[in-house]
Amino acid sequence: MIPFAWLGAYWFRFNLGMIPDEYWYPAFLLLPVVIAIQVCCFWYFGLHRGVWRFSSLPDLIRITKSVLIGVIVIAITFFLYNRLASVPRAVVPLYAGLLMLLLCVPRFIYRFWKEKAFIERQGKRALIVGAGVAGEMLARDLLSNHIDDYSPVVFADDAKDKFKREIRGLSVAGNIDKIPLIVEQWDIEHILIAIPSANDAEMRRIISICESCSVPFQTLPSVGELLSRTVTTANLRDVSIEDVLGRDPVRMNWTHIKQGLLSRTVLVTGGGGSIGSELCRQLAKIRVAELIVFDQSEFNLYKIDADLKNKFPEMPRRIVLGDVTDKLTVESVISKYKPDVIFHAAAYKHVPMLEEQVREAVKNNLMGTKTVAASAVANGVNRFILISTDKAVNPTNIMGATKRAAEILCQSLDAENSTRFTTVRFGNVLDSAGSVVPLFREQIKSGGPITITHPEITRYFMTIPEACQLIMQAESVGEGGEIFVLEMGEPVKISFLAKQMIKLSGKIPYQDINIKYIGLRPGEKLFEELFYEQEELINTEFDKLHLAAARKYDKQRVLEQVNDLTDACQKKDIDGILNQLKGLVPEYENTADKKNPHSENEGKKSSGVI
């Protein structure tokens, strides 16, 4: 390209006619010097490293720099040699312009030729929702990748200034509300949602509109998941239930969390469960000094140990098989490894099952908490974090009552000990073991029906990672005795959840998959609460993390009632267990009590220990 540009500059200088000999021969004599200088500039600016197929603005900038610097050096060199006596002054700028054209045009023609092939492909005609940066990058990847299954043909975006404009040669045909019309007019076969910055309300709206079209749709992950800032077809995934039911992402102060847990030895009871195992992964990610995973399930321990070994091979860890109600094992583990922080996640949580297993629920959820807490105090553990549930608020079932009793125990223990006790309370966790999401998924897989207890039943939902982040954030900011609650947005109807899962599986509710209402189960409420009326909700410095002002309890009285419960458990006295539990948790009202002959004091409330 350099000889063509250099000699072409002379030809243009003399109006595309004959070049006089007094200029023609020096032009040839100076050409090797021009080539040497210009090639050095090309090499210095890395022109040889560019791939023509992906030529873009950075390549244009490199070409401009190398040509301009080369021309300046050439002009100075010839000026010092003979003051440009044999080089017409117009040749220098003409040479620069011609060389720029000769270097740029072939590259962009080649790229255009390679990308034009998408028109002839047989991929599905795709609508890209979102004409922003992510949409443009996705369109570019689809247009340049010849093995993809999709051919983008049009955009949809709510930005009015983009309407009828073109991006990568594709028109912005209308706003998001017009998606059904665009799908029909453009014969769309697939919808690709490329708005990773969309919040929960926007995502629900988009998905609702896409569901009204009889074509499948996929989405890009959220901004937080696109850490590489690169959008390709590899990022596309099916729309998940989290996209529909989630909230705006909870942003935790990771610097604060790491400062609180770095170089600490941490014990996680129930470390093989849904919450416990994810908590272990996130603790390993921030590199605590040593992680002790305690669980009574051999299989769950094996799974989390294998996962930690694969993802964090350098992480010091101890895997302990044991029961939190086994005082000897608990004291042995805590005294041996001397943890600085204990996350107590071990608990039974299946509401209908525990209604028939009163003794086991109290033994595991309350007695287990007492055993671990007492050992923590005896061994000078710095922090104890109890993982609780919204079912502990005005409980109507054994599970909620036992968790509320565990909360009361921890709050009473905090007052007079060096160990700081903190409670973290949140709602249902999406896709945790035994929750409605995996149950609905299995029911859909088997062809239905989906079973729901009541058409109006609602629940708060959060993801497992969000729950664990809340737990660690509460550990880092708690001073002791507090109950932390996550702002969980609006509760979601379980019937809405079921319908969304059916739609996301590509089926139609009540046609392909039926929904059957079977009535409330024992101990089940229509709605859950996150805090008591007496617990004033206080904002913290962290977004969406709130503090429920806890009530004060008489430690001695609470310990006496817990000991009475322990005696009743050892005697297998179900009536005594229920009476003592109601005395400790006076707000506990089991909806099945009227049918339950367990207690002759049925319907009466203890004054409690507040």
Name the helix (H) or strand (E) containing 499: helix 494-504
DSSP 8-state code for residue 47: G
List pLDDT tens digits, range 352-400: 888 889 999 999 999 999 999 999 999 999 999 999 888 888 888 899 8
Strand partners, 542: none
Distance separating alpha carbons of residues 529 and 531, to the nearest angstrom: 6
Burial class (CB within 10 angstroms; exposed 0-12, middle 13-18, buried 19+) of 29: exposed
Residue type, 210: C
The dotted CATH code for 121-239 is 3.40.50.720
* Biggest alpha carbon–alpha carbon distance for the chain: 123
Burial class (CB within 10 angstroms; exposed 0-12, middle 13-18, buried 19+) of 72: middle
- Is the pTM higher than 0.75? The answer reads no
Secondary structure in 3-state letters for 208-258 = HHHHCCCCCEEECCCHHHCCCCCCCHHHCEECCHHHHHCCCCCCCCHHHHH
Cis, bond preceding 26 (omega within 30 deg of 0):
no
**pLDDT value for 535:** 61
Residue type, 64: T
CB atoms within 10 A of CB 552: 11
Binning pLDDT at 50, 70 and 90, where does residue 610 land?
very low
CB 558 within 8 A of CB 412: yes
Secondary structure in 3-state letters for 3-36 = HHHHHHHHHHHCCCCCCCHHHHHHHHHHHHHHHH
CB 78 within 8 A of CB 87: yes
Distance separating alpha carbons of residues 230 and 223, to the nearest angstrom: 11
| Domain boundaries, given as residue ranges, for the chain | 2-115, 121-239, 254-428+462-489+529-557
Burial class (CB within 10 angstroms; exposed 0-12, middle 13-18, buried 19+) of 525: buried
Picking from 102, 83, 98, the residue whose alpha carbon sits closest to that of residue 11 is: 98
Terminal CA-to-CA distance of the chain, rounded, Å?
A: 89
List pLDDT tens digits, range 263-310: 889 999 999 988 889 889 989 888 888 999 999 999 999 999 999 999
Query: Which residues, other chains included, contact 366 with Cβ-Cβ below 8 Å and sequence gap of 6+?
Result: 402, 405, 406, 409, 562, 565
Binning pLDDT at 50, 70 and 90, where does residue 538 land?
low
Q: Is the pLDDT of residue 210 over 60?
A: yes
Highest-scoring range by mean pLDDT, 139-143, 224-228, 279-283: 279-283
Q: Region 106-123: what's the mean pLDDT?
A: 64
Distance separating alpha carbons of residues 472 and 488, to the nearest angstrom: 17
Whether 254-428+462-489+529-557 and 121-239 are alike in CATH topology: the answer is yes
**In Å, how far from its chain's centre is CA 210?**
22
Q: Pull the structure tokens for residue 598.
A: 């367990």
The dotted CATH code for 254-428+462-489+529-557 is 3.40.50.720
Q: Give the percent of the chain with pLDDT over 90.
A: 17
Q: How many CA atoms lie within 13 A of 475 on its CB side?
A: 29
Q: Region 216-234: what's the mean pLDDT?
A: 56
**pLDDT value for 208:** 81
Say which range, 36-40, 328-332, 363-367, 603-607, has the weakest mean pLDDT: 603-607
- 212 φ, ψ (degrees, to nearest 5): -75, -15
**pLDDT value for 602:** 35
Distance separating alpha carbons of residues 174 and 160, to the nearest angstrom: 9
Look over the chain and give the mean of its residue pLDDT values, rounded to a whole number.
79
